[in-house]
Chains A and B, each alone.
Chain A
Amino acid sequence: MSDNSSVLGKRKKINRVSVGSHNKKAKKSNANWSYLNNEPKEYLLNVGRLAAFLLMILIWEAGARIGLIDSFFWSMPSEIIQTWTIIAVDGSVWNDTFYTFQSTIYGFVLGTVGGAVIGLSFWWSKYYAKIAEPFLIIFEAMPKLALAPIVVLIFGIGLSSKVAMAVAITIIITTLTTYNGMKQVDKDLVRMIFALGASRWQVFTKVVVPWTMPSIISALRINIGLALTGAIVGEYIGSTHGLGRMIFYAGQTYEISLIWAGIFNLSLLSVGLYLLISWLEKKLLKGILH
């Protein structure tokens, strides 16, 4: 058992041994401890990650060439790189990426700001908040992607329908996050500020809004991913531009390598957005918390 026991198993053993009196065993376990405590070296990790990635690509390529993987459905890395180079050089993929980027950002900003404003507005009336709450929860539970056909019918196949999808998918979750954060506002603090003769507006701006900001900021990172999903689904349903449209059309015409090329750019976009938001989050938090 001791040979193939997992790291966790070994840890358990240490605990067991430490109460016992078998010194030899205890010594062996100590070596295991130091192994657990040694932090892996960063450059080795990166080398390992790169190697794993290249290995996967290699297996895929080799598998497709010797017929183990059906390249009609799966395509193969060399073909994908070729396809991607063509659309990258003629610039079409960058136009599509920018289009998707645009609708994602618009939707993200509108959804986040809108959700935060609606969430904060609940502070002003308990009746209003309590009446709205079940609707919010029902709308949040609903799979909003299912709305895409209606949204495209209403807003057309232009940018606005993609933005609308991104807003639909982000706004309620932001509202609920904001609302929940706002409920945590220290009641004694509000009482004290009112006792100083503050108006409701003063309490709102000086206490409630700053108090709720960390909750709103925590929603940013989730929202950017959701907004991108919304924009892509909007493009699937009906669009003239965008990575979603490109991937969807490639699927319709069985151009599998083009699908992968689109997904590659989509991943680039997604990582880029994520880094951007992480940076923004850090800046904002630093400005608010210390």
Chain B
Amino acid sequence: MLNEYKLELLDVSKEFNSRGETVKALDEITMKIPDHKFISIIGPSGCGKSTLFNIISGLDQPSDGELLIDKEEASGTSGLVGYMLQKDLLLPWRTILENVILGMEIIGIPKKEAKEKAIPLLHRYGLKGFEYSYPSQLSGGMRQRAALLRTILYDRDVILLDEPFGALDAQTRANMQEWLLDLWDDFQKTILFITHDIDESIYLSDEVYIMTARPGKIKHRLKIDLERPRKPNIITSKKFIELKDEALTMLSEEVLKSQQMEMQAN
């Protein structure tokens, strides 16, 4: 069978030099991610999740190993994936419409064409009436919507989301999760999602990767075989609780380890 993976990391390692010492951030990470999947990554703080995203997005070179996107070597090449962070990073001097076309603008799509493409999306995904507002006039949730639409409009098959809802309150966060699933359904993207929230990772994903404390390794790959579409109350189902229990056990071991490491360092 041909391999049909959208994104592959093969034994990817990353070392940093910090004050003359070599620090290993990532240790032989291997991930094989099929097209159109929703993948979450959880792990203790400082386990190198963000470094991993920097490598996938091409901002950083891996020290070792291979990164393949569509079966082609992609390490060190930026612009192949969409990338969104916890901060919305909207440009305050641009309207929402001008903000969401930023990605398209950068790849050279004429502004007019980009705007024509963006407006129906803004309408369909809950930003109707805010096209000509400035980010400062929007709530945190709305700004994250705009940031996510900017990522979607950038039109890459793979999207990296680094704790996109981390700064939102619980209510808004729940809304945004539903909204993200809708978008994912409509656009059939491959999503990599970093979160600290186990419930969130299980609820949204097809697979959850649990990472170890530094140096970051893949500790476990948890397959989430819950049926889709999922309803919010699925989190009380027996299956969900079992999965959560498994994830929590694995994660708490690593959190403990990382805390011990921190205490030793101090």
Contacts and interface: CB of A to CB of B under 8 A. Distances in A.
Contact of A196 (B103, B134, B136): B103
A80 interface: no
A196 B84 CA distance: 10
Contacts of B106: 193, 196-198, 202, 206
Interface string A191-220: 111111110001000110010000000000
A188 B89 contact: yes
Contacts of A198: 79, 106
Interface in B71-123: 78-85, 87, 89, 91-93, 102-103, 105-107
A195 B93 contact: no
B93 A197 contact: no
Interface string B217-241: 0000000000000000000000000
Contacts of B58: 195, 197
Interface string B139-161: 00000000000000010000000
Contacts of A206: 91, 102, 105-106
Contact of A210 (B78, B80, B93): B93
A289 interface: yes
A189 interface: yes
A195 B89 contact: no
Contacts of A194: 59, 78
A186 interface: yes
Contact of B134 (A186, A207, A290): A290
B61 interface: no
Contacts of B80: 197
Nearest to B82: A196
Most A-side CB within 10 Å, residue of B81, B89, B136, B154: B89
A197 B83 contact: no
B220 to A, nearest CB: 28
A191 B78 CA distance: 11
A181 B25 CA distance: 33
B91 A197 contact: no
Contact of A195 (B78, B105, B134, B136): B78
A3 to B, nearest CB: 50
B92 A289 contact: yes
A197 B107 contact: yes
Interface residues of A, number: 18
B57 interface: yes
A188 B91 CA distance: 12
A45 interface: no
A290 B83 contact: no
A188 to B, nearest CB: 6
A191 B85 CA distance: 10
Interface residues of B, number: 25
Given A196-B79, A196-B83, A288 B89 contact: no
Contacts of B78: 194-197
Contacts of A290: 92-93, 134, 136
Given A197-B106, A197-B107, A290-B134, A192 B85 contact: yes
A197 B107 CA distance: 8
Contact of A288 (B59, B84, B93): B93
Contact of A197 (B79, B87, B134): B79
A182 to B, nearest CB: 15
A206 B78 CA distance: 18
Given A195-B58, A210-B93, A188 B87 contact: yes
Contacts of B136: 290
A289 B85 contact: no
Nearest to A202: B106
B107 A195 contact: no
A195 B59 contact: yes
A190 to B, nearest CB: 9
A193 B91 CA distance: 11
A290 to B, nearest CB: 5
A51 B85 CA distance: 61
A210 B83 contact: no
A289 B84 CA distance: 24
B79 A192 contact: no
A259 to B, nearest CB: 47
15 contacts: A186-B87, A186-B89, A188-B87, A189-B91, A192-B89, A193-B102, A195-B58, A195-B83, A196-B79, A196-B83, A196-B102, A197-B79, A210-B91, A210-B93, A290-B92
Instruction: Report, nearest first, the 7 A-B pairs whose CB atoms are least far apart.
Output: A197-B79, A195-B83, A195-B57, A290-B134, A198-B106, A189-B89, A197-B78
Given A195-B81, A290-B134, 6 more contacts: A191-B54, A193-B106, A196-B78, A196-B82, A206-B102, A206-B106
